[in-house]
Structure formats: C-alpha cells, structure tokens
A and B are shown apart, each in its own frame.
Chain A
Amino acid sequence: MADRDYARRHLRFGWWSLLFFTMLGLVLESLHGFKVPAYLDASNETRRLMWTLAHAHGTLLSLVHVIFGLCVRVAPEMNARNRPLISWSLIGASLLLPGGFFLGGVVFYGGDPGVAVLLVPVGAVSMMIAVFLLARMAASAGQERASPSEGTRPRQDRSRGTSRR
C-alpha cells in the first residue's frame, strides 16, 4: 500500500471516527439533560463511567488517526518500515478500547463492568505497540536526519525506497 493510501485510510478513519464519537458525546449529554435513570442513577455509576471512557478514548484515538495520517503525508520516512503493523494496531485499538468500554457498560455487575471490558486491555496493548513503533521510528528518523551522509540524500527517494520495503 502506498504512503498516499495509508494517509488516506487513517485520515478517513480518523475523521469518521471523530464524528461517531462526538455524536456519542452528544448522546451522553442528552442522557444527562433528560436525567435518564439508566445512565445517571448512582446504581448505574459503572455504566456512566464506562460510556464516558468509551467516548473519551474513542475521540482521542480518532485524533491520533488524523495525526498519524498527516504524519504519513508530511514525514513518510518516520514510520515506513512498520507501517502496516502500526496502521492495523491503531485501528485495532480504536475498535477495542472504546468498544470494550462501551460494551462493558451495557451489562455490568455492580461496581464491575461486563466481561466485554476484557477487550480493553487487548486494545491497550495494540495501542502501545503502535505508539512504541512510532516513537522508535521517530527517534531513528531524527538521528537519520541529523546524520550528514543521510542528510544529503533526497527526501523523496528515501521515502519511495522505504515504501517499497
């Protein structure tokens, strides 16, 4: 998949996801506004917490997708080597983290969320893999740029070469 495709994928995913999760935020605000007991009663505190976490994580992850998409476009050399893994990890995190929180709040056991919350740690690991790879690549990209020999290499060639790999 070309750089352009990755950028497009994550920008598209990010913005649609942001739309979805801001709409979820609107729904949650409406539940507050109409004082819906199933969301606001103290006995439903676990649901409120889970759905709030789903909204927050989903929204922030949407922004991460947008930033990642922009990074691919602006600095394609930064994450070229592991881009497929990073891409799928980010998408996985975006589905599992907020999804786990949300489903964990649908059915819950007193102060404990439902078993669907087990998706959350899987999503968190997925997220950490992506972030770790990005961080490592960012650091190495910085070193590469600082190196005089690398610094003279045309930027376009390097990115093209990386994308072929």
Chain B
Amino acid sequence: MIRVVTCASLLLFSTALGWSIISAREPRIPEARITYRPIQIQEGGYVSSDTCKACHPAQYEAWHDSFHRTMTQLPTTDTVRADFDGVRVTDVPGNPIDLELRQNEFWAEFGDPDWKSSEAGERPRIRRQIVMVTGSHYQQVYWYRTDRTRVVGQLPATYLITERRWIPRDSALLHPPVEKPGSETGRWNAICVNCHATDGKRRFDAPADVETAGASSMTADTQVGEFGIACEACHGPGAEHARQNRNPMRRYWQYLTGKADRSAIVQPAQLNPVLSSQVCGQCHGVWEFFDQEAERRANSIGLAYRPGDELRQTRVVVQPTKNQDSPTVRAILDAYPGYLNDSFWSDGMIRVSGREYNGLIDSPCFRNATDEKHTLTCFSCHTMHKTPDDPRPIAEWADTHQVAAGMAGNGACLQCHAAIGTNVPAHTKHQPASTGSSCYNCHMPYTTYGLLRALRSHQISSPTVAASIETGRPNACNSCHLDKTLAWTSDYLERWYATPKVRLSADEQTVAASLLWLLKGDAGQRAVAAWSMGWAPAQRVSGTGWMGVPLAMLLNDPYDAVRLIAHRSLRSLPGFDGFQSDFLAPSSERIGDTVRALDYWRRTLRPGDRRTDPALLLDAAGSPRMDAIIRLGLQRNDRPVVLRE
C-alpha cells in the first residue's frame, strides 16, 4: 500500500512539475495566425536557414553573425538595440515619443505620422507595438503594427547605434530639409521586403490616390520565406537539395569520395563571374521592373530572379552609360527627372552605398576581363562565410564588410596584378607601407555615400582631376591630401603617370580641393568631404590643425546629414573631443554652434599644428580668411540632393 501511494505521489509530482514548466514558457503563436505584420511562410521550395543549419553549421554560424541576417528581425530584448524601458525621446518628429518595454513587448506612443494637417484638430497620439526591426550595424529602424492588415508603419525616429542616440528618421538620410516629415507607412511592405527578407512577396495594394486616400487605404498580405538575407537568398530554394541529401548513405558517399552533388543548390562562388556577381547584384544594385505588369506579377508571387539566373532577364539593371535611353529608364526619368542624379555621379559612376554591383560591372577589371579566372567579382575580395584559415573573430570579419582573409590589403588586387607587387612603390610613388601605397585608397576611394558616412567606390578607377572637374566627385589623391589643390594633384599625376592636365579655374588652382567641395559643392560632395576630414589616414597626411574651420562652417549646413557628419569629424580632431553641438538645433541656433566651434578651434589649436597655407584659406597669422570662405560659401551648389541609398 505504501509503495502504491509513493508511486502515485511521484507521478503526481512529476506531472505537476512538467505542467508548470510548460505553462511558464511563453506561448508561441504560429506565424500563419499572426495577422498584424508580415509573416514568415516557407513555400515555393524555400525551407529557411533552420533546415540548412542541420548539415552546414559552420556556414550557418558565419551567416548568423553577419549583418545580412539582421537586416530584418522580430523585436526581442536581444535584437532591439535602443533602450525602450520607460524612455522619452523628445527631439524628433512625433515628439515626444514615449517608449515602453512591457513583458518583452516593445511599445511606442507618438504623434500619428499618417495624420494629415487638413484633418480637423491636432495630430492625435497613437500607441503602437513594435513588430519588426531593420538594421543592426550602424542604425536601427523600428516598424509598428498599424492593425490594418499586415501593413506596418515606421517609427518617425531612427536609432544611431554607435552614438546611442535617436534622430529624426528624415535626418538619417541625405535629402533636403523637410518641414513636415511624411508617413513611411507601408514602405517595408512595398519596398524593403525586396532585399531585407528572403523570398519576399509584397502582396501590397495601395490605391493610385493614396496621397489623398491616406494610409488607411493600404492593404497588405506580405509574406516572406524568412526575415533577413538568409541562405536561400544567395543559394536559391533549398527544399530539393535537402530532400536529396536526407539519405545518410548519400551524404557519406559524397564525403568519402569528395564528390559533392550540387545539382539542386546554387553555389554562387562557383558560378561564372557574370552570374556570381548577379547573386549579390540582385540587392546591391540599382534596378527597376521592366514595366508595370512585371511589377504586378512580383507583387503577387515575389521577384522572379533566383540565384544562378541571368539577372537582366528578370529586371532592368540601371546603368546610365548603357541604358539611359531604354524605355524603362526613360519612363522613370519622365516622371522623376532627378532619378539618375540621386544615385549616380554625372559620368554614370554610382554614388550611393549598397549598390556596389553597379560599380563592379562598370569596372575595367570586370568589363575588360578576358578570362574567368582573372575577372573581378564580389568573391574576389569578399566571402559570405568566414573561412577556417581566417584568424579573425567572426564579429571582426562581419564588421569589416565580410572581406576575405588576406584581402583587406593589396593582396586583393595583386591576385591579378602580381607584377606590381614586386615593386609597389614604383607604381604608387609612395612609401611601401604608407596608405598611399594601398591599392584600395587610390582605385577605390571613399566617394559613395550611405548610412551617414562615405564608403569605398566599388567601381575600380584611377584618380584624375578631369573627372573631379567634370563630375564634382572627389578624386583619390585629394581625398587623402585634403590640404592640396587640384593643381597640385594635376601636376603629380602628369609627372608620375602622364595623365593629361586640364584647365583649372583660379580657385581650383589656389584653394585646397577639399575646401572647394566642402564650401561650394552640393550636399553629397559636402558630406563626403566632411567625412574625409574625419578619416584617420587623411588626418595624418594633411594635418588637422586647419580642419576645425571648414568643419565649423558645416555645423550650419542646411542638410541634417551633412551637419551630423561634420560634427562627427570635428569631434575626431585633436582637442575637440569635448566639443558639444547639436546638429538638430533650430537654424537660428546653429550659427552659434559655428561660432563656438571656431572659438574652440582657436583656443585648442596647438602651436605646432598652426597652418598658414593660403590654399587652406588661412592668412599669414593662421586666422581664417572669412572673406574668401564667405565668397566660396555663397557659390554653394544648392541643387536639392536626394541620395537614394
């Protein structure tokens, strides 16, 4: 009897314990039952990275730690980088934004971005749950549920991860100042889904008069195979591959014979250079649908392109030098004349980040290559899975743009240009170990813009002054030698490489090129020039004692992004680490920031750093020549610039 009672008690206790453990876990709602945000449903042969992990843990690990995976995530305490726990954000539109972390749910209360000033009353405040997160490297953007089908709205503030600061969403992009920030409701469903998820299907509908009908007229049944750029975005749908390799005998046969069967999966690095680059180019390129019918089809069933396909059969890859007059590009230009200027320099070179494929296909190393082995592709320098011989931690590999082991330096170019490697200074005319002897610095200078910084151009080119004059694009020499004029560069290029000289204006002969871009250039040039002044190699080469003046001027730039970049570069100057200014301050206060920065510069300038070069617009005493600065500033190119990064 005692035994029976003991057994029954043990059974009862075990059951109770098991039940309490199960009930303590949060109930997981099946994706298909979620109605208020885009959902992850695997169909059409997609199986998700979970399936790939079982056989490819090393590749999974590298991908998992990359920023591709985190392009879109669900909000959790691990994925959300901003502090939501009772935080009030005050200096952004929709202010104040009250953030709340409630039992692992992220909530925000803010002014409704979809409210129109034509409506009666004041902008109502709404309280919404954050349901998706985009980005995890430099910035993070948050999407909230609108409870109108699967349409999601964007929180009107962007979180800068490095600075741990909220800024207005519009300030995170380079475009003319806006008085009233617009709504971004539906943007993820209609645009971001293409490249911030795997196998995205928009299934988004907005009436032609959505501007007047309002965001409430939008509907969406957006579905993706997986959030983020996952395995199948590059390898194609994996169901058949997984099915074929479910048999262990088959797998071990492949291991032991070394004959991997890749018939049912795409290995991008083993495709020919054209097709392999297109795998990356599907997202890292400027492209458009052929026509509205193609767009409608994609809206319903997803993008037609699959890795291994010929990309150009599924879309128009925009190349101003090649297809500016194609019907598709013409139609876009008719509707939006600034379309090309927003993404390309005037000679057709890409000027925005995230579109490196456009740079690659216009590079001589790709375009003029005669054999596959010596053709530049994305995989010539980058690897999507850190290799076992790479001693760097995965985080470092991911943080340095997934550049492959040994490819961070000249090794990348010397794969083909081996002869130069035997005597680098003979080619570069710079000391072997100097930044001037880096292939990247001369042939891939920082002339593209995105994410509030300059990034390397991926169109391999050689520096010329002519291109700078013609397009306004900073050349590699003056991006490092910021204190030198275009005439100086022209002289050296002629002497060293027999590059023909071009006719230069008086200012181009006498004023440092960086100052011309910074004072006279358009917003894109100003942003890139301001960033260069914070670039350590340029600071070492050009000295920093004079940079406080031009950067102080940019603290009153009309573009938020330019002011932020100038502020960052200013803070990187010696003695300026304690300098405070608010790039979001009203224009009436910003001139005060400029004056304070100039005063700060005078007080903190070390005697040894003092410069008196006329090219730097400094007089013999080292004081700024304000007349010249103002004269050039009045010539500023105020063309509205929108960089579509």
Q: Decide whether A and B assemble into one complex.
A: yes
What distance in Å separates the Cβ of B185 from its nearest Cβ neighbour in chain A? 38
Answer yes or no: B61 CB below 8 A from chain A CBs: yes
Question: How distant is the Cα of A43 from the Cα of B386 in the complex, in angstroms?
Answer: 11
A27-71: CB near B (< 8 Å → 1, else 0) gives 000000000000001111110000000000000000000000000
What distance in Å separates the Cβ of B144 from its nearest Cβ neighbour in chain A? 32
Chain A residues closer than 8 Å to B61, beta-carbon distance: 41-43
Pick from B161-169, B247-255, B364-372, B525-533 the stretch touching chain A: B247-255
Answer yes or no: A135 CB below 8 A from chain B CBs: no
Question: How distant is the Cα of A12 from the Cα of B331 in the complex, in angstroms?
Answer: 87
Question: How distant is the Cα of A41 from the Cα of B56 in the complex, in angstroms?
Answer: 13
Question: How distant is the Cα of A2 from the Cα of B282 in the complex, in angstroms?
Answer: 76
Answer yes or no: B67 CB below 8 A from chain A CBs: no
> Which chain B residue has the least Cβ–Cβ distance from A45?
B57
Answer yes or no: B395 CB below 8 A from chain A CBs: no
Answer yes or no: B64 CB below 8 A from chain A CBs: yes
Whether A42 pairs with B251 at a CB distance below 8 angstroms is no
Whether A42 pairs with B60 at a CB distance below 8 angstroms is yes
A77-115: CB near B (< 8 Å → 1, else 0) gives 000000000000000000000000000000001111001
What distance in Å separates the Cβ of A97 from its nearest Cβ neighbour in chain B? 18
Chain A residues closer than 8 Å to B62, beta-carbon distance: 43
Whether B56 pairs with A110 at a CB distance below 8 angstroms is yes
Contact of A109 among B59, B60, B251 (CB under 8 A): B251
Whether B252 pairs with A42 at a CB distance below 8 angstroms is no
Given the interface contacts A42-B61, A42-B64, A43-B61, does A109 sit within 8 Å of B54 by beta carbon?
no
Question: How distant is the Cα of A45 from the Cα of B58 in the complex, in angstroms?
Answer: 9
Whether A110 pairs with B58 at a CB distance below 8 angstroms is yes
B32-61: CB near A (< 8 Å → 1, else 0) gives 000000000000000000000111111111
Question: How distant is the Cα of A42 from the Cα of B56 in the complex, in angstroms?
Answer: 10
Whether A111 pairs with B53 at a CB distance below 8 angstroms is yes
A42-B64, A110-B57, A115-B255 known, 7 other contacts, Cβ within 8 Å? A41-B61, A42-B57, A43-B57, A43-B58, A110-B59, A111-B57, A112-B255
Answer yes or no: B256 CB below 8 A from chain A CBs: yes
Q: What are the 7 tightest A-B residue pairs by CB atom distance, in nearest-first order?
A: A43-B58, A42-B61, A111-B55, A109-B255, A45-B57, A43-B61, A111-B54
What distance in Å separates the Cβ of A111 from its nearest Cβ neighbour in chain B? 4
Chain B residues closer than 8 Å to A109, beta-carbon distance: 251-252, 255
> Which chain A residue has the least Cβ–Cβ distance from B65?
A42
Whether A112 pairs with B252 at a CB distance below 8 angstroms is yes
Q: Which of A106-129 contact B (CB under 8 A)?
A: 109-112, 115
Question: How distant is the Cα of A41 from the Cα of B395 in the complex, in angstroms?
Answer: 13
Chain B residues closer than 8 Å to A111, beta-carbon distance: 53-57
Q: How large is the interface on A (under 10, 10 to 19, 20 to 34, 35 or more residues)?
A: 10 to 19
* 7 CB-based A-B contacts, threshold 8 Å: A43-B57, A109-B251, A109-B252, A109-B255, A110-B57, A110-B59, A112-B255
Q: How large is the interface on B (under 10, 10 to 19, 20 to 34, 35 or more residues)?
A: 10 to 19
What distance in Å separates the Cβ of B53 from its nearest Cβ neighbour in chain A? 7
Whether B64 pairs with A110 at a CB distance below 8 angstroms is no
Whether B255 pairs with A46 at a CB distance below 8 angstroms is no
Contact of B251 among A44, A45, A112 (CB under 8 A): A112
Q: Which of B227-262 contact A (CB under 8 A)?
A: 248, 251-252, 255-256
> Which chain B residue has the least Cβ–Cβ distance from A42?
B61
> Which chain A residue has the least Cβ–Cβ distance from B245?
A112
Contact of A115 among B54, B56, B252 (CB under 8 A): B252
Question: How distant is the Cα of A131 from the Cα of B248 in the complex, in angstroms?
Answer: 28
What distance in Å separates the Cβ of B307 from its nearest Cβ neighbour in chain A? 20
> Which chain B residue has the least Cβ–Cβ distance from A43?
B58
Chain B residues closer than 8 Å to A115, beta-carbon distance: 252, 255-256
Question: How distant is the Cα of A41 from the Cα of B60 in the complex, in angstroms?
Answer: 11
Chain B residues closer than 8 Å to A46, beta-carbon distance: 57
What distance in Å separates the Cβ of A41 from its nearest Cβ neighbour in chain B? 7
Question: How distant is the Cα of A16 from the Cα of B57 in the complex, in angstroms?
Answer: 35
> Which chain A residue has the least Cβ–Cβ distance from B256?
A115
Chain B residues closer than 8 Å to A45, beta-carbon distance: 57
Question: How distant is the Cα of A42 from the Cα of B248 in the complex, in angstroms?
Answer: 22
> Which chain A residue has the least Cβ–Cβ distance from B56?
A110
Chain A residues closer than 8 Å to B57, beta-carbon distance: 42-46, 110-111
Question: How distant is the Cα of A110 from the Cα of B255 in the complex, in angstroms?
Answer: 10
Chain A residues closer than 8 Å to B59, beta-carbon distance: 110
Q: Which of B41-99 contact A (CB under 8 A)?
A: 53-62, 64
Question: How distant is the Cα of A31 from the Cα of B255 in the complex, in angstroms?
Answer: 28
Question: How distant is the Cα of A112 from the Cα of B57 in the complex, in angstroms?
Answer: 10
> Which chain A residue has the least Cβ–Cβ distance from B61?
A42
Question: How distant is the Cα of A46 from the Cα of B59 in the complex, in angstroms?
Answer: 13
> Which chain A residue has the least Cβ–Cβ distance from B251?
A112
Question: How distant is the Cα of A17 from the Cα of B193 in the complex, in angstroms?
Answer: 57
Chain A residues closer than 8 Å to B255, beta-carbon distance: 109, 112, 115
Question: How distant is the Cα of A110 from the Cα of B54 in the complex, in angstroms?
Answer: 8
Question: How distant is the Cα of A111 from the Cα of B59 in the complex, in angstroms?
Answer: 10
Chain B residues closer than 8 Å to A112, beta-carbon distance: 55, 248, 251-252, 255
What distance in Å separates the Cβ of A53 from its nearest Cβ neighbour in chain B? 16
What distance in Å separates the Cβ of B385 from its nearest Cβ neighbour in chain A? 9
Question: How distant is the Cα of A157 from the Cα of B420 in the complex, in angstroms?
Answer: 94
Instruction: Give the interface centre of B56, B58, B251 by most chain A CB atoms within 10 Å.
Output: B58
Chain A residues closer than 8 Å to B64, beta-carbon distance: 42
Chain A residues closer than 8 Å to B252, beta-carbon distance: 109, 112, 115
Chain A residues closer than 8 Å to B60, beta-carbon distance: 42
Question: How distant is the Cα of A102 from the Cα of B62 in the complex, in angstroms?
Answer: 25
> Which chain A residue has the least Cβ–Cβ distance from B255?
A109
What distance in Å separates the Cβ of B438 from its nearest Cβ neighbour in chain A? 31
What distance in Å separates the Cβ of A113 from its nearest Cβ neighbour in chain B? 10
B385-415: CB near A (< 8 Å → 1, else 0) gives 0000000000000000000000000000000
Question: How distant is the Cα of A43 from the Cα of B388 in the complex, in angstroms?
Answer: 10
Question: How distant is the Cα of A44 from the Cα of B61 in the complex, in angstroms?
Answer: 10
What distance in Å separates the Cβ of B166 from its nearest Cβ neighbour in chain A? 33
Question: How distant is the Cα of A109 from the Cα of B256 in the complex, in angstroms?
Answer: 10
Question: How distant is the Cα of A46 from the Cα of B61 in the complex, in angstroms?
Answer: 13
> Which chain A residue has the least Cβ–Cβ distance from B386?
A43
Question: How distant is the Cα of A111 from the Cα of B56 in the complex, in angstroms?
Answer: 6
